Homo-oligomer: A and B are copies of this chain.
Amino acid sequence: MRVTIYDIAKEADVGIGTVSRVFNNHPSVSHGTRSRVLEVATRLNYRPHPYARGLASNRTNSILAVIPFFTTFFFLEILQGVQSKLSDLDCDLILYGVNHPDQVASSLRQNALRSRVDGILFFSMKMPEEFALQYLQHRTPVIVVDSYHKSFDSLTVDNQEGAFHATTHLIKLGHKRIGLLNANIESAPARERLKGFQNALTGAGLAIVPGLVKNSSSPILDGFTRNAGYELMKQFLSLKGEMPTAIVVASDIQAVGALAAINEAGLKCPDDVALIGFDDIELASHLELTTMRQPMYEMGALAADTLADRLKNPKEKVSQTKFVPKLIVRKTCGASMHRKQIEAIA
């Protein structure tokens, strides 16, 4: 039979209230009693029943992570960060993966309401208003990561700043004719990255050549796909002599497609055209892709922390944190080449 607080109470010759207090670190238990209870509990191998606890205290000690399954690379690292904090909080992680952005609402309807959780981490997708309202009403804290909602704490990557750094890096390497291979301008990240790109050029006194900014028109994942990168790169390649000497690519996955197009054309990166990506997905290091790294582990960890804070202070005003991506220099930007050479190319 299961060991309960009654067994412990009897064995340690105290009341059940006292046993409960010991396990909840309630201050008003004398030192002697506490250690006696703990000794007995260890001896009988007692473990509190989480559901009984949850039922009685109206806490669940578990949180829900809603993640998109369709962009694999990104998430295990984030979850790692989340979990590193969660074990401190003595909290379970319930995972709910959504297969397609369009299914968020129906998926949530089907699943997320079933489980009772203390809080929710919501990743990379637009939170449907229907659920936002519901969570607000139920006072279930939600942290939105890599996305934004006015009513919830959010952690985002500063896309504009990231694109600014990326572009500036290329400028510093001596490039004057720099292109932007962007995603679908309908999406906020694409717009922000465009803005950062423009600011960097303008700030350096370079002109923004419209023909060198190419937005994807693909509706599929807003153009953040390998294929979108491939197609846009082919457009750049068709410019021949007018081609930029370096291109800022809105995401690594697009850069992968771009590299394929470059190879196919018989050209070399970075010799013929330099590339800089965004994200630092697993592939990036294998392809020696220079990129703007998003601090995923850190975002995960901070998301968990933020949720913990929110659970403690429900009234606090909604916070908004921005992470600045970090430049990871590899080979595709040509930083290892001598500047003279680059200038010769340009």
A residues apposed to B, CB below 8 Å: 47, 49-52, 54-55, 60, 62, 65, 69, 72-73, 75-77, 79-80, 83, 87, 90, 92-97, 99, 110-111, 113-116, 226, 256, 282-283, 286-287
> How far is it, in angstroms, between the C-alpha of A79 and the C-alpha of B72 when the chains are bound?
11
How many copies of this chain sit in the oligomeric assembly? 2
Further pairs besides A93-B96, A94-B94, A95-B95: 4, Cβ < 8 Å: A47-B114, A69-B80, A72-B73, A83-B95
| Closest-CB distance, A317 to chain B (whole angstroms) | 27
Q: Inside 8 A of A95's CB, which chain B residues have their CB?
A: 65, 79, 83, 93-95
A226 to B94, CA, bound (A): 32
The answer to whether B97 touches A50, judged by C-beta atoms less than 8 angstroms apart, is no
Measured CB to CB, the closest approach of chain B to A138, in angstroms, equals 10
Given A92-B114, A115-B92, answer yes or no on A77-B72 (Cβ-Cβ < 8 Å). Answer: yes
Q: Chain B's nearest CB lies how many Å from the CB of A281? A: 9
The answer to whether A87 and B72 touch across the interface, beta carbons within 8 angstroms, is no
Nearest neighbor of A281 in chain B, beta-carbon distance = B282
Contacts of A62 in B (CB 8 A): 94, 115
Interchain residue pairs with CB less than 8 A apart (16): A47-B114, A49-B116, A50-B115, A51-B54, A55-B55, A62-B115, A69-B80, A72-B76, A73-B282, A79-B97, A80-B97, A80-B99, A83-B97, A90-B114, A95-B95, A283-B283
